[in-house]
Structure 1
Amino acid sequence: MAESGQRRAAVDSVLRARDIDRAQASTVLDAAYAEGQLGAQEYHDRVASASTARTVGNLARLTVDLQSPAVFSENPPSRRPRRRARAEYPAHTRARSSDRTATIEALDTARADGQLDADEHAALAELATEARTLGDLSTLVAELHQRPDAPTKPRVRRDPRRLVVIALASVAAVAAFVVTVRDRAEPPPVTHYNSAAPLVLATPSPTTIAGFLHIRDGLDAKFGNAVVDAITCHPEYARLTREATGQGSFSADYTYYGGFQRSTGAMPVRARATVSIDLATVNTDALAATLADAATTLSVPDGKVQHFSIAADTTTKRPVITIHVGNEHSQSGFLTTTLSGELIRAHPYEEK
């Protein structure tokens, strides 16, 4: 048992953290702050660390000393043990195009759920495109939660008739190739096209009021309403949870990158106490002003909005907006308002 725990800890120490893992850690920290386990500054520091944590191990260290609901520790992200197939190809086996595609799809999933940032994703995807062996591809996804299954050797039954068919097919293919080459007197004419610049439709950043309105309108268009359980807006993307369409007892997670896509196929049971929040009730004029003045309000030099969330307060269960501001020197602060824009609390940056 001890060795099993040590192995899991070793895996978690390098396993990439997803946005959902960071959100779970932040939920634990919220509960601990509400219960008085953490002071305001310590709570703020830990939340800031959770928002930038790279591994599951980093997140675990932020909550290991807390007495709080087992939101994070009860169901920690873990890797299911993978059974090595008997006929699995060795690592030096050449990779096929389909193997590279499967690896890139896994990297895309990791980018969407926050395991990789944009630069890491681009670099790893480029390496996957140029990978020559299955071992090269396996190394690129070794630290990810979802990894493509390794290709396995098919079981081939020896059949003399099948060998004859293959031989005849090979002869026919060679003959067709020779005839084709002989008949090709001239190369086909080359047509030149004038390349046009691609049309790029810019999507506003979700941490701006324009981006928030874009997401809210998109929700209404896709689902018929803009009701969510919680939403967190980052500069490049947003994550949200809402009632699963047509299945009120379950919830579904979505990632927004200019459009909505399911983060996972899982649909956890939706707690009865879950508070639904209609984003149409947000005072967007007040939110725009708060976002614009947040860095000044929180005394963060050259600060920018790192992310803001709309969710039910862990204590009052009332919907609130929490805005986090930071700069490149790790100076940060946060504030909380009602949906109508009234300030509830603010924790500005203070020089230590």
Structure 2
Amino acid sequence: MLDAAYAEGQLGADEYHDRVRRAGSARTLGELGGLTADLQSPAVFGPPAERKRFGRRHSGEYPARTKARDGDRARTVAALDAARADGQLDADEHTAMAELAAEARTLGELSTLVAELQQRPAAPVKPKARNTFRIVTSAAVALAAVGGFAWTIRADEPAAPAPETTINYNAAPPLVIPTPKLDTVVGFIQFRDDYRAKFGDTLVDEAVLHDEHASAVRRAPDNGDWTVDYTYRGGFDRSNSQVTTRKRDAVDIDLAQVNTDALGAVLNTAAATLNVRDGVVTHLRIADTSWVGRPAITVFVRNEVSQSGHLVLALSGEVLETNPYER
């Protein structure tokens, strides 16, 4: 199912490989089910058999969080093209929304983009009595047939039970992927490298890094008058389906200009510098800081009894301002 969803564009490469890895280490049916719960039924399995169910009505629609196929994105772009042609959207709106549609990951994101149009593409039809066990079993039998194996079941005899397969989950060593905290210098470098790989540059309007997640605001694709918000948890996803008008005084901040050696030194001594006993760095904010007149990094420190302080340093590493905790 994951292979089929990847081929249809429901999953990106990183997400596909992550789910395959998690499927290989799953111990329960619930864990496996969670890896496909937000997927549309792959077309490669064909339409499932329908059975009448009494007392229940089929909604006919997937949940908004369901992964979108390439075909869903193409239909949404076609609807936006038609809306542009008949005057519902102007050129800037059409360009920005078409770019967002091309990057959309869920059906809910696509639905939001066309919610105000007079003509909207039909939502994908959810199978009526979807039986995941039957689908997966059918697929397994088909694969076995391709490999040259066939089972013959006589009409007057019960099918022979399938032989049990014992899987030794300890045969291979676990794959451990380190995930550094993003509010450390190692985590920042990881975030910056992944950002460059995703967008092809290191320009942001603003970035905020917490220990396990981060956010970034950058220009919308092909339209510098708009911005798009992204969240980061090992990969980048849009935090919403809307675009926002970019501030007139916004500046491009180049993460490549951050002096990581100086940043690491500041982070290591931040708690002591700010007089926060047993304090830890809670998050970093990289933005155009008006009171210092240039892009800067604000480092926030807090301890378990809510004593806190923060300091501001230039991208070059020069400390511009300190606001220590005062007893």
TM-score when normalising by structure 2: 0.52
Q: Deviations over 1:131-164 (max 9, x none)?
A: xxxxxxxxxxxxxxx9x9xxxxxxxxxxxxxxxx
Give a deviation string over 1:42-82, Cα, whole Å, max 9, x none. xxxxxxxxxxxxxxxxxxxxxxxxxxxxxxxxxxxxxxxxx
Equivalent residue number for residue 187 of structure 1: 161
Residue deviations 1:237-293, cap 9 Å, x none? 111101112221111111110111111111111122101100111111110000111
Rounded to whole Å, the distance in 2 between the matches of 1:302 and 1:267 is 41
Q: Which amino acid aligns with 1:201?
A: I
Distance 1:96 1:202 in 2: 43
2:234 — aligned with what?
Answer: 258
Q: Distance in 1 between matches of 2:258 and 2:277?
A: 28
Runs of 4+ with deviation above 6 angstroms: 93-99, 103-106
Contact 2:206 2:217 in 1 (8 A): yes
2:268 to 289, 292, 303: 292
Instruction: Pick closer, same or farther for the CA change 1:180–1:336 going to 2, 3 Å.
Output: farther
> By how many angstroms is 1:326 displaced?
0.5
Q: For residues 205 and 181 of structure 1, do their structure 2 counterparts lie closer, same or farther at Cα, with a shift above 3 Å needed?
A: farther
Could you say what secondary structure the match of 2:244 adopts? coil
Whether 2:245 is the aligned partner of 1:269: answer yes
| Structure 1 residues 274 and 180: CA distance shift in structure 2, 3 A | farther
| 1:303-332 C-alpha deviation (Å, 9 max, x unpaired) | 110001110013354101100000111111
RMSD: 3.0
Q: Could you say if the C-alpha distance between residues 245 and 104 of structure 1 is closer, same or farther in structure 2, counting changes exceeding 3 Å?
A: closer
> Are the structure 2 counterparts of residues 275 and 103 from structure 1 closer, same or farther at C-alpha, using a change threshold of 3 Å?
closer
1:334 is displaced (CA, Å) by 0.6
- 1:182 deviates by 4.9
> Does structure 1 residue 230 correspond to structure 2 residue 230?
no
Corresponding letter in the other structure for 1:184: P
- In structure 2, the CA distance between the partners of 1:191 and 1:231, relative to structure 1 (3 Å rule), is same
Unaligned runs of 5+ in 1: 1-92, 107-145, 149-178
Task: Give the conservation status (yes or no) of the 8 Å contact 2:292–2:320.
Answer: no
Tell me the CA shift for residue 104 of structure 1: 7.6
CA distance in 2, matches of 1:299, 1:315: 23
Task: Indicate which of 296, 303, 306 corresponds to 1:327.
Answer: 303
Residue identity over aligned pairs, in percent, reads 44
Distance 1:277 1:225 in 2: 11
- The one-letter amino acid of 1:339's match is L
Relative to the length of structure 1, the TM-score reads 0.49
Structure 1 residue 194: deviation in Å? 1.1
Q: 1:310 to 1:301 in 2, by over 3 A?
A: same
Q: Does 1:307 align with 2:290?
A: no
Q: Is the 8 A contact 1:307 1:324 kept in 2?
A: yes
- CA positional deviation for 1:200: 3.2
**Residues 94 and 285 (structure 1), Cα distance of their counterparts in 2 relative to 1, 3 Å cut:** farther
| 1:295 positional shift | 0.6
**Larger helix fraction of residues:** 1
Report if the CA contact (8 A) 1:300-1:332 is conserved: yes
5 Å-filtered alignment, 1:199-214, equals 199-214=175-190
Contact 1:275–1:317 (Cα < 8 Å) also in 2: no
Matches within 5 A, 1:70-219: 102=63, 182-196=156-170, 198-219=174-195
Opposite residue 263 of structure 1, the aligned amino acid is S
Post-superposition shift, 1:187? 1.1
**SS of 2:277 mapped into structure 1:** coil
Whether 1:342 aligns to 2:297 is no
Total equivalences in the alignment? 188
Distance 1:321 1:98, change over 3 A: farther
Gaps of 5+ in 2: 1-54, 68-108, 112-152
Q: Is the 8 A contact 2:288 2:295 kept in 1?
A: yes
Change (3 A) 1:97 1:233: farther
Contact 2:284–2:298 (Cα < 8 Å) also in 1: yes
Deviation of the 1:185 alpha carbon: 4.5
Q: Structure 1 CA distance, aligned partners of 2:304 and 2:56? A: 43
Equivalent residue letter for 1:344: L
